[in-house]
Amino acid sequence: MEFLNETFSGFTAMSHWEYIAVALSVAYLLLAIKESLWCWPAAFVSTFIYTVMYWNGALLMESLLNFYYMYMAVYGWVVWRRGMNNKDHLPIISWSLKRHAVILLATSLASVAIGFVMTNYTHADFAYLDSFTTCFAVVTTYLVAKKVLENWLYWIVIDAASMYLYFEKGYYPTLVLFVFYTIMAAWGFKTWYEEYEQHQAKPLAQL
């Protein structure tokens, strides 16, 4: 009962700005799955709100990540819009397993290094987990902008890891959002994969 009371209090205590950010984040995800250009304006506004919220909550890497998201929202808009001008839309592509292995290794090393710095030289909470989700989200957001199919697989892991972080910080609306994100990322991969097969007429990239 005490847990339920604390959870309910966490929801009711949240600023209305967080609920706005959650709603816009859901809109971004649904529009991204549908390959709609308008996913990027929704992303820009929601990440601006989260940039401020996470900074105030001492999740410094998450705050910096969302500042990066704001930039990538502009970049994604430009890239997708340019693709729409050149043809029907920017095509979905697939990267090789070797290329993804390099990404995983390099990003993991960067996560550990940044986590060490944040642990020893800042007041950040959950520094290593925060760094892990941040570093991989930076890379994965670029994959979204380039329409790399496998971005959704990265998001499944990132979103699942983020749920623990937001639970511990008491960001309950955002926790629910990330549960939804994890499920929708699986749907996003299925949707993009079906379109990739249809337009490319070939299986996923091999080693």
Alpha-helical (H) ranges within the chain are 2-13, 16-33, 39-56, 60-86, 97-121, 127-145, 151-169, 172-200
Spatial separation of the C-alpha atoms in residues 183 and 177, rounded to whole Å? 10
According to DSSP, residue 89 is labeled S
Contact 75/96 with Cβ under 8 angstroms?
no
Q: Is 176 left (phi over 0), alpha (psi -120 to 50) or beta?
A: alpha
Cβ atoms < 10 Å from Cβ of 129 = 17
Cβ atoms < 10 Å from Cβ of 135 = 23
> Does this model's pTM top 0.85?
no
- Cα distances from 193 to residues 7, 89, 205, in angstroms, run 37, 16, 12
- The pLDDT tens digits along the chain (207 residues) read 554 444 444 444 457 888 888 889 889 989 999 889 899 999 999 999 988 888 887 777 778 888 888 999 999 999 888 876 655 567 899 999 999 999 999 999 999 999 999 889 887 788 899 889 989 998 999 999 899 999 999 999 999 999 988 888 787 877 887 898 899 999 999 999 998 988 775 555 544
Q: Is 95 left (phi over 0), alpha (psi -120 to 50) or beta?
A: beta
